[in-house]
Amino acid sequence: MRRRRFLATSLATGAGLWSSGGLSLAAEPKSERTTKKGESKMAFQQPQLPYALDALQPFLSKEQMSYHYEKHHAAYFKKLNSLVEGKPEASLPLRQLVIQSTGGVFNNAAQAWNHTFFFNCLKPKGGGVPQGPLAAAIERDYGSLQDFQKALADTAAALFGSGWTWLACDQKGKLEIMPLGNADTPLKHQREPVLTLDVWEHAYYIDYRNERPRYIEGLWNAVNWDFAQHCFTAAVKQ
Ligand code: FE2
């Protein structure tokens, strides 16, 4: 718990993870390749959650976050490690493995990466409004923050079945809302993720049951605009 709080502080202040390499480190911390005490070494290790399990209440309860992070996210890492054990893919950075893999390895690698990205898109006492270049790009491409939020919410509500609603951009910073099914990610479409919302039922069903629109609405009180802004500026600089 002490370590989790330290990492939460590092992420919240922008120190450490963000300043030492940008998006790839934020979504794929160096601790991924280290081992926790008493654990055997695995190719891919689930990063620590950047806040406590109960820190996103009332948007997401401790029970909801516990199932999502400790059961679902952990299971993708466990399955991925079993699939790549002893194979060359085990030595790839996770992001690269997502980009070049297919089938079961892709499904589990992408879900491992997507969830790490998603958890970084949220923060305790989040919300507010974006600043800087991202705010300007939202206004340019969607007219206003309110229009963008409605477009993303409508897209997320309409996504059939399991998947993710992404805000992504190209290298010039053109924004695009992408509804993608199952484990699919903008990384497979030559786009850089800026923000995402997990709309698999496992992400919200304990707290919201079948009311996906109410879960989507809650995002705006927990969104981590600083992280999204960081991802956007890093993508445009590439
Ligand atoms: Fe999920």
One domain for residues 12 and 103: yes
By the CB criterion, residues less than 5 angstroms from ion ligand 1 are 198, 200, 203
Rg (CA), the chain: 17
pLDDT confidence of residue 237: 81
Boundary residue ending a domain (70, 85, 120):
120
pLDDT confidence of residue 25: 35
DSSP 176-215: EEEEEETT--GGGGT-EEEEEEE-SGGGTHHHHTT-HHHH
pLDDT confidence of residue 22: 32
pLDDT confidence of residue 238: 67
| Cα–ligand 1 centroid distance for 112 (angstroms) | 9
Mean pLDDT of 196-203: 98
Q: Compute the C-alpha angle 232/235/238, nearest 5°.
A: 150
One domain for residues 147 and 82: no
| Cα–ligand 1 centroid distance for 188 (angstroms) | 18
In this structure, is residue 157 part of a structural domain?
yes
| Cα–ligand 1 centroid distance for 19 (angstroms) | 27
Q: Is the pLDDT of residue 110 over 60?
A: yes
Q: What is the CATH classification number for the domain harbouring 63?
A: 1.10.287.990
| Cα–ligand 1 centroid distance for 65 (angstroms) | 10
| Cα–ligand 1 centroid distance for 140 (angstroms) | 31
pLDDT confidence of residue 76: 98
Weakest mean pLDDT among 37-41, 173-177, 184-188: 37-41
Boundary residue ending a domain (56, 88, 120):
120
| Cα–ligand 1 centroid distance for 156 (angstroms) | 14
Q: Is the pLDDT of residue 12 over 90?
A: no
- Domain boundaries, position 207: 132-237
Distance CA 124, CA 226 (A): 12
Which token pair is 187? 């990384």
One domain for residues 138 and 229: yes
Q: List pLDDT tens digits, range 48-104.
A: 999 999 999 999 999 999 999 999 999 999 999 999 999 999 999 999 999 999 999
Dihedral over Cα of 46, 171, 180, 134: its sign: positive
| Cα–ligand 1 centroid distance for 76 (angstroms) | 10
In this structure, is residue 13 part of a structural domain?
yes
| Cα–ligand 1 centroid distance for 21 (angstroms) | 25
User: What is the tally of structural domains in the chain?
Assistant: 2
Highest-confidence segment of 16-20, 22-26, 31-35, 187-191: 187-191
